[in-house]
Homo-oligomer: A and B are copies of this chain.
Amino acid sequence: MTLHAATPTLKERQRQERERLILRAAGEVLADQGYDGMSMEDVASRVGISRAAIYLHFPSKEDLVFALLGRGIQMFAESVDDIFASGLTPREKVRAIIEHSYGGMAQPSFRFFNAVLQSPTFLSKMTERQRTMRDVWNPIQQRLTDVLDEGKRSGDFDTEMPTSLMVSLLSGLLTPFTFKQMVEQEGMPLPEVVNFLSRYFLKGIAPSQPDDLPETRRPAH
């Protein structure tokens, strides 16, 4: 009936829109109820459709969340790409990444990252599928690695600390853990939190000064 097979438009467009709505709803529920706490009914009623309709788009709860995760990761990766391609200095790039993450976290759209990444239920289902979180998370890690390595080369960051550890520390910072504490409970304005966090992280990974080392206890000479 469609004139041009190349026009996936109408129906297809509606379908994708529906899918987006479902993903958005799922993200919201996920963000504040967690993977186990999220029921298909929650999502469906938020979109205003029936539970069964979700299965027209995603074969299972697991797949739905996985898709959401994938989309989130991709979006985040694209942002990091933009930042990477900008003319900013490595330090400024790190700051921009933190800023961007926390900006997004205010909208619940990013909060669910944590929800998913911390849910043993989801993670174990993932493992059953032979898909390590490692693979999924890889695009992000790779990009962060690139930024940090660039900083190492430019002499901005500590070359002694393995980049993988830096990546892990930065990821940990982007988790809503600190965010919730400070903004929601202490009432600190978001930009200020971002400022402090950036400074903290950059100082933490700055090239070591001679007097940074003495952490391993030595007798005062």
Binding site for B on A (CB under 8 A): 32-37, 88, 91-92, 95, 114-115, 118-121, 124, 134, 161-162, 164-165, 168-169, 171-173, 175, 177-178, 181-182, 185-186, 188, 193, 195-196, 198-206, 208, 212-213, 215-217
Contact = CB atoms under 8 A, between A and B. Distances in A.
Contacts of A175: 172, 177
Most interface-central of A134, A177, A185, A215 (chain B CB within 10 A): A215
| Copy total for this chain | 4
A177 B15 CA distance: 38
Contacts of A121: 33-34, 36-37
A98 to B, nearest CB: 10
Nearest to A216: B195
B199 A208 contact: yes
A178 B182 contact: no
A200 B195 contact: no
